[in-house]
A and B are shown apart, each in its own frame.
Chain A
Amino acid sequence: MSEKEIKKPLLQVRDLKQHFPIEAGFIMKKQVGAVRAVDGISFDVNEGETLGIVGESGCGKSTTIRSISQLYTPTSGSVVYNGLDLIKAKREELLDARKNMQMIFQDPYASLDPRMTVRTIIAEPLEIYKKRRMLEPQMSKKDIEDRVEELMERVGLNRAFKNRYPHEFSGGQRQRIGIARALALNPKIILADEPVSALDVSIQSQILNLLHDLQEELGLTYLFIAHDLAVIEYISTRVAVMYLGKIMELSRSSDLYKNPLHPYTKALLSAAPIPDPVIERKRQRIILTGDVPSPNVERVGCYFYDRCPYKMEKCKTNIPPMKKVDEHHEVACWLYE
């Protein structure tokens, strides 16, 4: 978590676009438009860090993660892991790379197969890669059994619960099962899709601490999504702020919270309550007007133009590029030209 050494990027995302076609027509389907869920984003994830992605609902956070893990086939761009572009990679190579890239899901109730025991759920990635003969080294049944128990202990589950079914657990315990499953293949990077947003606050902190400990013990890298600013502040090394499928600002976590640059980030941070009634009452809140515009239209100007309190003529027709303000702080806004 400290920035003592300069870390090399583990995952590079370049100009990633994920457009979902809108089709019309009875039998001969014709594409009449696209939902631009992710519309050209670029960032690096460095080894050992936690990159938090924050943004309001529908801004494309989850889509980004799913595009990176190739659950969706991205429309364009590149996702480079360890020198391999996952989008163009062959199936075998992709599977091999995916071994190092596991996901944790948002809903601990929906992300575990209700028909499987905890043992089967945690062992599933091992079984899949064992069947594909891509497990190094090959594991016997006994090895898998041992590994499952080890993982359960590691995430703080009693190994006696091995033969239980997910519905017999609480939300926090289920999320631990999900984390154990993600750890099964010894991944380098974990893509966490709002892993705590479905849990209540006390459980949230337990899970966050667990993730934190695991990162230190195993040297994991996280790509962490949340819409809760406090959670992101707590866990992240760096933070990317997304709006309408675009990254608005990307910065070290400490800088971002102290010194937000982008008007959207400012508005977003000001929307979060401060747990001190005196400051809370005094502070000036930035209220954005209007709604999030439809992601279906192609945009020529700044994505935040419609709602920006500081909008200029230039913003209407020119998309602002990511601009480095200082070494660790990038922002996409014409104000900082």
Chain B
Amino acid sequence: MIFKKKNNTAAINEFNQEIAGNSLTKDAWRRLRKNKMAVISLVVVIIYILLAVLAPILPIYPYDEIILDHQHLPPSFTKNAGELLMEKRLADLYTQAWRQGNLELTEEEDDMLWEWIDSNEVNKVWDYMYEKGNAMVAEGSYTLSSYEQRRIDSLEEDIRTELQITLKDVWYRADSGSERVKLTSLDTDEILAAYAQLVNISAEDQKTQYMKEIEQQVLREIKERTPDLSDEEYEILLNQEFNDMSESRLNTLIRSNVLVKLNNAIRSVGLRNLKDAAEDGTMEFPLEEEISISETISATIKASKVHERQYYLGTDYQGRDMLSRIIYGGQVSIAIGFVGTITSVLIGIILGALAGYLGGKVDYIIMRIVDIMYGLPYMLLVIIAMAIFGRNILNLFFALAIISWLTVSRMVRGQIMSLKNQEFIEAARSMGAPTRRIIFKHLVPNSLSVIIVFSTLRIPSFIMTESFLSFLGLGVQAPFASWGSLVGDGVTGMTLYPWKLFFPALVMTIFLFAMNFLGDGLRDAFDPQSKNQL
């Protein structure tokens, strides 16, 4: 049975000892445990799944946070982003100085460097120049020019002071005596007043400002809805829209508009205050505390120094953390592997079982459909489906599922055809068991071992397909990531930034290996004839 109920009445033998049944599944599990590779693989798979599931609560940076300063930082366990940036800046300056002839090297070194440049090994040049330049500055044979010194100082300044802040809550206090309340709990008029007070503009100006902006916003929406009209027509549509607009809708528009502006204002004020503090060194970062913005408004702000970040697996071309992208990408890839397999196995079991058990015309029709779908090129169908239904993860699931049940259904059909003439099926029929019961209580559980093995071997192939589609740009779209799309992104510039390709590929390979070993292990475990070999 697929979901076996626990028997609460324990069997007792004549010596009053409890007797436990020894099921085929238990037997298989025992044999699986003897297979070292399979157990290791099982652990690896479980770790992967845990990481993917727990990704939101892991202490990693958001996978879609773009920090353009941090483009293409190499992986490092010891240096944080600021130090890496400084290295990069210095290497850059030394190299430039050498190219302009300010920094003189021996002839052999020149030849070596030019050779590297010719063979596109720029990383080596930078590394060498960084080491060499530092050494020369230290021994005094090269002095930095004032321009170079300025650039280094400005970077240092940035590293020290650049902050990343997130606004957690905004508080409002009408006067010093009263209780503070969340700004979002106030009504629109009060928010308007608070904003006017903060940026010091008259209510009249404020109104014209936000009305103009809302008008723009609505116009944009109309243009999206009905493109290719003349300006006059848009004018008419816009007026119509405003006439039709209800009081409450206008109210929410105003509210959201002002809230966004208010938050931006608070953020900039808060950033200014904290930056001063960072420059003075009066505050320790990272911090999370309430900062008063004006007499009436205060905000809980979380702030950290941007350049103190650590990227263990480097960053990608938009300065996003590769580690968190790989973990979140794993989420998508593993989900596609499992969901795709489960849907395809479910469809396959039901159709295969019906075809196999009922036989005759039903079998003929189902199997001809399978044959026809087999005849169509698999990838082409997926690509067409993705092109028609749009590129998102759900459609990817859908496209993979509709095509991948074919093999399962054929396999299940074969299994069930060989089982259905067994006497125990005849026995069930003679007891008056309905077809549904025969299929789902007798036939499917008996072919389950084959199905389980097939499914585990199927998961990697789903992940591969998804990766292939993502590699082609048909799969997951940025900012979402999957292993396939990460590899696809990593291929561009793979000589300069090899970590962008290496880590996702490595992670994916390990998972696929583990899945395949696990599948092999399961196949051996479920095969009674391999009993003696283990």
Contacts and interface: CB of A to CB of B under 8 A. Distances in A.
Interface of A: 66, 69, 71, 95, 98-99, 102-103, 105-107, 110-117, 119-120, 124-125, 128-129, 131-132, 145, 158-165, 167-168, 178, 181, 185
B11 A162 contact: yes
Contacts of B10: 163
B19 interface: yes
A71 B430 contact: yes
B428 interface: yes
B424 interface: yes
A127 to B, nearest CB: 9
Contact of B433 (A105, A107, A124): A124
Given A71-B429, A128-B437, A168 B22 contact: yes
B422 interface: yes
Interface centre among B19, B21, B428, B434 (most CB of A within 10 A): B21
A103 B432 contact: no
Nearest to B16: A160
Given A69-B430, A119-B7, A163 B19 contact: yes
B427 A111 contact: yes
B119 interface: no
Interface residues of B, number: 31
B1 interface: yes
B9 A160 contact: no
Contact of B431 (A66, A102, A106, A163): A102
20 contacts: A66-B426, A71-B426, A71-B430, A98-B430, A103-B426, A110-B423, A110-B424, A111-B427, A115-B446, A117-B23, A120-B1, A124-B428, A125-B432, A128-B434, A158-B13, A160-B12, A162-B9, A163-B20, A168-B21, A181-B427
Nearest to B446: A115
B437 A164 contact: no
Interface string B424-458: 10111111111001000010011010000000000
A106 B9 contact: no
A281 B408 CA distance: 62
Nearest to A160: B13
A164 B424 contact: no
Contact of B21 (A105, A113, A114, A117): A117
B105 interface: no
| Chain B CB within 10 Å, residue with most, of A99, A119, A161, A163 | A163
A125 B13 CA distance: 25
A116 B428 CA distance: 12
B232 interface: no
A113 B23 contact: no
A102 B430 CA distance: 7
Contact of A105 (B20, B427, B432): B427
B247 interface: no
A99 B20 CA distance: 32
Contacts, number: 98
A102 B426 CA distance: 12
Contacts of B23: 115, 117, 165
A119 B9 CA distance: 11
Contact of B24 (A98, A111, A165): A165
B231 interface: no
Contacts of B284: none
Contacts of B19: 160-161, 163-164
Nearest to B360: A29
Nearest to A66: B426
Contacts of B9: 145, 162
B292 to A, nearest CB: 68
Nearest to A110: B423
A145 B5 CA distance: 14
Contacts of B445: 113, 115
Contacts of A117: 7, 21, 23
Most chain B C-beta atoms within 10 Å of own C-beta, residue among A105, A113, A131, A185: A113
A151 to B, nearest CB: 14
B431 A124 contact: yes
A154 B390 CA distance: 66
Given A105-B423, A110-B423, A165-B24, A132 B14 contact: no
B418 to A, nearest CB: 12
Interface in B1-51: 1, 7, 9-14, 19-24
Interface string B402-434: 000000000000000000001110111111111
A105 B431 contact: no
B529 to A, nearest CB: 14
Contacts of B21: 117, 163-165, 168
A27 B164 CA distance: 72
Contacts of A167: 24
A165 B22 contact: yes
Contact of B22 (A103, A160, A164, A185): A164
Given A160-B14, A163-B19, A165-B21, A111 B430 contact: no
A103 B432 CA distance: 11
A106 B423 contact: yes
Contacts of B422: 110
A133 B429 CA distance: 17
Contacts of A112: 424, 427
Nearest to A134: B432
Nearest to A105: B423
Contacts of A119: 7
A136 to B, nearest CB: 15
A115 B20 contact: no
Contacts of A105: 423, 426-427
Nearest to B9: A145
A110 B13 CA distance: 27
- Which one of A106, A129, A164, A181 has the greatest number of beta carbons of chain B within 10 Å? A164
B434 to A, nearest CB: 8
A111 B19 CA distance: 24
B11 A107 contact: no
A95 B434 CA distance: 11
Given A71-B430, A128-B432, A159-B11, A111 B423 contact: yes
Nearest to A94: B432
A161 B22 CA distance: 11
A102 B448 CA distance: 29
Contacts of B446: 113-115
Interface string B485-520: 000000000000000000000000000000000000
A152 B445 CA distance: 25
A145 B24 CA distance: 23
B424 A161 contact: no
Given A124-B431, A131-B437, 9 more contacts: A71-B429, A111-B424, A114-B424, A117-B21, A129-B432, A160-B12, A160-B19, A163-B10, A164-B21
B420 to A, nearest CB: 12
A78 to B, nearest CB: 19
